[in-house]
Structure 1
């Protein structure tokens, strides 16, 4: 596309924005989850001895399923092949990548299960506190500054993680909380960007690609961290991820623009198309003040909050605890652990992309209403993952089946962007950042408890304890889905627009009033005139 007034942009500007944002969200999650993998190597958790629950030991504890399989194979072989070497004697029937020996405890932090949970949950202690300010800041100052500044601060602090870990685990907790404090502004600021840049019918597809690029960050980070730890050591994990984030900040600062009006190379055709598409929700009678009372008492919005709480509980369970489950229950080495822990997030990203494309096609061809699509895809993203997780708990030590089921669960959860997550933009485009900030705040107030809850529920790291964890997660999923299904809505709420008093104050007086066309955005009128010329 070429235009002498607006420059050239061979690729549609909103598509370039999608790629740039996707990379940023991936970097965001690199900084968030590097600790989930690294802590397996950087911290040792003593476990109760079999003889006395009040004492602890630093000796190696074999992973639950490794020990279980060895014992069963030994008994079976002794009964059927007396006098021959049993399978348990040399582990010949066990996968080579099972943990067979403990790494030296030198240079490791010694943390109890509760302390380890606090370290893993520390990010969320700060994260939930800045979501609401983040949304409002982006509405006032733009996503470019808010998102870019958050990654810059998080990247610099990540570089100091090894130093904090060697000082004391409390220092590490404070540093991770500070990173969370910076990153809490990101997703609310992205909602503001979507409201200003993306036409409504394209939003599920755009959000599926960009918001769910957190899975790309997870896919890259988990195996990468595993390899870095195996080859170089755990401190390098934080140097690499912190360095990558700073590179992205430079690119973002150079090429991101907060609205189509500010983009120097967008075509007139694309600019006019975007502004026409978004005008009903974001430019018609926009309020001068945030209607906090209406936001806090809106029943449809609270239904969306509840759905978000349930989905984030399950997502953060896998995000923070899957490497631990792979290690302590299934018994995989740190290198293989990182790779296998990333696979579920591959399927989550693919599920998100496919559901986004599917719902966009259904809506544009008018085969389904927006309301119906939100209900269907919220069912897929909330109910089905909970069912699959419960099944995982009962497949026992069938390692292959357990590893295969996690990706199935996350593939279903990828439909979140076509379900309740898009509902914030349905209800109030003018306050998309603020209300997602409220949702994220509530969701992560609950999510910060996930590592601590899991640590308390799994002191012995056995399968029965994890079954209880998966049941709890399923209950969170299904109960939140029920609330959203009963009380959810897709109608733009009245408080998205200004009050009658504000409308009267904004209108000109005298004869000019009758010539106004409030349904038409003045910016779009101007761009239409330019295009006709």
Structure 2
């Protein structure tokens, strides 16, 4: 029998790695830290950090970009036909209404909605390295061009923001495609969370340094620095990042065998022996599922996918959780200002504190989750549901209480609710890697789409409540947000699964 066919036969008889059974017997003990797979997680973390910093830069810079009432124009240059005036420091300022500012800040979300889901599909076909790297380069160059576009006019700035959002959407859709090939099941939560947490860390850094950069040398420096760092990082990205462990030049053989055997169903040693020579001669990069006809195409069983409750158990709580999160990030500063006469934007560290605490929560939660799995304390589905339960119930309780407490307690509850909600990254947020590793990038892209839709709808509903009655409006806002969040939690607890779905199963040894 052909070695490839024999390996496929043995693989079909192997156990499902999702519950972590038999891992100690199947694989040699391979170090985690200072390993190539953890280096890959850090590379993805830094990519997300750069992207989020570029994304959030306008939110900080726009305060200095807009000409406020009473601000004089010290420029000797005529502004006729030229949309920007300058201050005495030579930094341009603009007369943008609050509506225009809102459209500018949300333009990137529109671009992200266009490309996130398609990029999740194409990342499964082409791999995430090229898609993410090229998109990061485009996004970085556009970030450098933002000050110039603002001088030329709003239409140019809107166009750059939309295209930049499209590029970031490709990155968000493509990055999850690394984990089915790089992350062993017992380390999947840690590795993916390290990558995800770069988004939070990027926002944290830009909040801390953004105010100083806007003051001196001026708001354009935020875009020049974040864009320049992104361009430099693209060189590092294309030099050190690889789509799969088989093609990575710096990985040792023991780690390579450990990763491949883990992600392909804990292949027995006999399979390794049968496939090693064939892999070397034919260039097989991993045991990656392909279409049933053994062709090189990458099919998408979309109809079967949307008929599966396990799929909707990921999408529904994603929408529900982000409804609550968007109120944290968009509406809550206004709540503290209106109800408690405390504007948390006045203190950069206080504004950044929920972000760093969320980063700690994500990281600590991922280590606890993988510890529970590696020690066989809980099965995978129990771990996912436990962290979903904690990450959605506790924030809902804290949120409901916010309108009834003083300002200090409200800020404390805000930080706790926002931080604990990030435990969901060890719950349903990475569940696509469990139920359909082959299509994880597409499903996670779809998650991002639904979260973006939630972020667009939630502020509108909040504004409706506040406009009707400011006194009771905030209470209604947080009761509704908590109820929606709890609905998503209950939906996942009932319908969430961790077994690979039938439409995602395929056990053939194929090329990438």
Structure 1 length-normalised TM: 0.74
Question: Residues 287-366 of structure 1 correspond to what in structure 2 (within 5 A)?
Answer: 287=291, 288=297, 289-320=299-330, 330-332=341-343, 336-366=346-376
Task: Tell me the equivalent position of 2:201.
Answer: 216
Task: Tell me the equivalent position of 2:489.
Answer: 481
Task: Tell me the equivalent position of 1:91.
Answer: none
Q: Contact (CA 8 Å) 2:344, 2:350: kept in 1 or not?
A: no
Q: Contact (CA 8 Å) 1:188, 1:432: kept in 2 or not?
A: no
Task: Tell me the equivalent position of 1:286.
Answer: 290
Task: Tell me the equivalent position of 2:97.
Answer: 111
Q: 2:236 aligns with which of 239, 243, 251?
A: 251
Query: For 1:296 and 1:211, how far apart are their aligned partners in 2?
Result: 25
1:12-33 Cα offsets, whole Å, 9 max, x none, are 1101112111111111110111
1:270-295 Cα offsets, whole Å, 9 max, x none, are 00000000113983753242112112
Task: Tell me the equivalent position of 2:136.
Answer: 151
1:217-267 Cα offsets, whole Å, 9 max, x none, are 111011111221233333322222222222221211111111101101111
Return the offset for 1:465.
4.6
| Greater radius of gyration (CA) | 1
Alpha-carbon distance change, 164 to 405 in structure 1, aligned in 2, over 3 angstroms = farther
Secondary structure in 2 matching 1:368: coil
Return the offset for 1:470.
3.1
Task: Tell me the equivalent position of 1:63.
Answer: none
Task: Tell me the equivalent position of 1:270.
Answer: 255
User: Does 296-305 or 170-179 show the bigger shift?
Assistant: 170-179
Task: Tell me the equivalent position of 1:389.
Answer: 399
Q: Contact (CA 8 Å) 2:189, 2:430: kept in 1 or not?
A: yes
Query: For 2:377 and 2:44, how far apart are their aligned partners in 1?
Result: 30
Secondary structure in 1 matching 2:249: coil
Query: For 1:174 and 1:338, how far apart are their aligned partners in 2?
Result: 30
Alpha-carbon distance change, 356 to 486 in structure 1, aligned in 2, over 3 angstroms = same
Q: 2:182 aligns with which of 197, 211, 221?
A: 197
Secondary structure in 2 matching 1:109: coil
Return the offset for 1:466.
4.2
Is 2:45 aligned against 1:22? yes
Return the offset for 1:314.
3.0
Unaligned runs of 5+ in 1: 1-8, 46-57, 61-104, 499-517, 524-533
Return the offset for 1:182.
0.9
Structure 2 length-normalised TM: 0.77
Task: Tell me the equivalent position of 1:70.
Answer: none
Query: For 1:412 and 1:419, how far apart are their aligned partners in 2?
Result: 12
Query: For 1:495 and 1:464, how far apart are their aligned partners in 2?
Result: 48
Q: 2:61 aligns with which of 9, 34, 38?
A: 38
Query: For 1:250 and 1:374, how far apart are their aligned partners in 2?
Result: 36
Secondary structure in 1 matching 2:181: helix
1:459-504 Cα offsets, whole Å, 9 max, x none, are 6996755444433432331121121122211111000125xxxxxx
Query: For 2:156 and 2:468, how far apart are their aligned partners in 1?
Result: 27
Task: Tell me the equivalent position of 2:278.
Answer: none
Is 2:172 aligned against 1:187? yes
Is 2:433 aligned against 1:425? yes
Query: For 2:194 and 2:33, how far apart are their aligned partners in 1?
Result: 21
Query: For 1:107 and 1:458, how far apart are their aligned partners in 2?
Result: 31
Unaligned runs of 5+ in 2: 1-31, 72-90, 267-285, 292-296
User: Does 133-142 or 234-243 show the bigger shift?
Assistant: 234-243
Alpha-carbon distance change, 22 to 344 in structure 1, aligned in 2, over 3 angstroms = same
Alpha-carbon distance change, 390 to 212 in structure 1, aligned in 2, over 3 angstroms = same
Q: Contact (CA 8 Å) 2:242, 2:248: kept in 1 or not?
A: yes
Alpha-carbon distance change, 442 to 434 in structure 1, aligned in 2, over 3 angstroms = same
1:168-227 Cα offsets, whole Å, 9 max, x none, are 545433322221111112233222100110101101111222112211111101111122
Q: Contact (CA 8 Å) 2:392, 2:489: kept in 1 or not?
A: yes
Aligned-residue Cα RMSD (Å) equals 3.0
1:326-380 Cα offsets, whole Å, 9 max, x none, are 777754486x443222110111111111111111111111111111111111112
Task: Tell me the equivalent position of 2:269.
Answer: none
Query: For 1:333 and 1:285, how far apart are their aligned partners in 2?
Result: 50
Query: For 2:491 and 2:255, how far apart are their aligned partners in 1?
Result: 39
Q: Contact (CA 8 Å) 1:36, 1:321: kept in 2 or not?
A: no
Return the offset for 1:324.
5.9
Alpha-carbon distance change, 466 to 455 in structure 1, aligned in 2, over 3 angstroms = same
Alpha-carbon distance change, 331 to 285 in structure 1, aligned in 2, over 3 angstroms = closer
Alpha-carbon distance change, 381 to 403 in structure 1, aligned in 2, over 3 angstroms = same
Query: For 2:368 and 2:473, how far apart are their aligned partners in 1?
Result: 38
